[in-house]
Copies of this chain bind each other. A is one copy, B any other.
C-alpha cells in the first residue's frame, strides 16, 4: 500500500530496534500492537494491509506531553525576556483576550503538527475554545485530554458561568465519541479558582470519571500568598477540595516540600515536570524530583505553552529535565537518561490513560521511529543516552498514533496548509489586538 497516511487497516513494521534487538511489529486494524518479535514479518506479511521498512531505526513508545496550552503556538515569540507581571499583563493576556475559536483551532493544528514532527502522540491540554481544539485534534489524529481552563477569580457569578462552560465543553467533547479525545476539568490554580469552584470541579470530575488538570506550586509567590491568605499551602488547599486524585495531573510543582511529595504519591497524583518553562520564567527552584521519586510518585513531562518555552519538542524537554535536575539539586547522577525517557513515555501515557506506554502486544500502537543513522545517533553506544542528550525531535522519521501513520519519513499531510493557516491566524490576532488597544 502506497499512501501510508490514509491507511486504515493493519500495519507491519519490519526491522526496527526494540529493546536493543532488531524486531518486527505487527499492528492490527484496531490500532493495537498484535505481536512484536524477531522474524515475525515472515508470517505477518501476507495479512498486513501496509508495510513500513524500519531499516534498523529505533522504535520507541510515542512521547506524551502532560502539560500544554496548545493554541499558544500562535504566540510563539510574541513576547519574551520580560519581567513576569509585565509580560502577562501587557503582552500575553491582552492578546489572549482577543482570541477566537477559529484561531484556537489553527493554533492547535499547528501544535499538533509540531508534536507529530517531534514524536509526540498524546497531550494534556488546558485552554479556551476547547471544542475548536478538539476539532483540530480530531483531524490531526493525535490523542489528547482537553480541559477548559476554569478561572472564577473568587466571584460567585463568574464561578457559575465557569461551571456551565465546563459542563458544555465536557459534554461536547464526549459527544464526539472519539476514543482518542477525552475531556477533563481544568482548575487553573489556587490563586485563580475559589475553593467552592475547586470542590465543584472535584465533584463533577468524580461523577463523570474524567481527569483533572491543574497548575500547582509553580512559584514561591503562589505558596507564600496562599499561606498568608488562607494559612494553607496550595497542596493542602487542593487536597481539602478533593482535587488530588489518581486522575489528576499537577503541572510545575517546583515549590513542593518533602511532605507534599509524599502526599502527592499517596494520592496517586501525576506530576508534570516543565523544566524549560520554569527556567525561562525563573521560578527559582526546580521540581524536587529526588523527593518525588523517593516517595514513589508518578512524574511525567510537559512543555507548557509555546509562550514560555517556545516549542513543543519533548526530546529537547527530556534533555532540559535531565540537565536541570542535575544542576538544581547538585547531583551528577540525578534523573539519568533512562528515567527521563520513561517520564516522557510510559509515565505520561499512564497518567493520561492512553495505555502503558510500552511496545508490547495488547498495547495501543503509539510508536515513533527514530533515525538510527542520524548524526545524533552516531556512534550508538547507548540508545537512551543518545535519545535524551543528543537527539532533538528532528531525528524522528515516523510517528504512529493508534496504529495510524501520522508522519512518514518526515512528511505530514497538509503541512503547508497548516503553516499558512496558523500564520494567517496569528497575524490576524495581533492586528485585531493592536487595533482594539489604539
Q: Which residues on A are within 8 Å of B, measured CB to CB? A: 73-78, 80-84, 87, 110, 113-114, 117, 276, 278-284, 286, 306, 309-311, 313, 316, 319-320, 322-324, 326-328, 330-333, 335-337, 373, 375-376, 378-382, 385-386, 389-394, 419, 422-423, 426-427, 430
Contacts and interface: CB of A to CB of B under 8 A. Distances in A.
A336 B77 contact: no
A48 B203 CA distance: 72
A278 B378 CA distance: 23
A113 to B, nearest CB: 6
Contact of A386 (B310, B316, B327, B393): B310
Contacts of A286: 327
Given A332-B281, A392-B313, A80 B423 contact: no
Contacts of A113: 375
A311 B376 contact: yes
Nearest to A312: B375
Contact of A382 (B78, B84, B87, B380): B78
A331 B114 CA distance: 29
B379 A74 contact: yes
A280 B340 CA distance: 13
A337 B324 CA distance: 20
A285 B333 CA distance: 17
Interface of A is mostly: helix
A17 to B, nearest CB: 14
A146 to B, nearest CB: 21
B326 A114 contact: no
Contact of A332 (B84, B326, B327): B84
Contact of A323 (B320, B322, B426): B320
A114 B74 contact: no
A168 B76 CA distance: 51
A378 B284 contact: no
B278 A426 contact: no
Nearest to A78: B381
A386 B77 contact: yes
A266 B320 CA distance: 34
Contacts of A110: 375, 378
Contacts of A379: 73-74, 76-77, 422-423, 426-427
When A and B form their complex, which 4 residue pairs have the shortest distance between CB atoms, in order from nearest? A394-B394, A379-B426, A81-B336, A77-B385
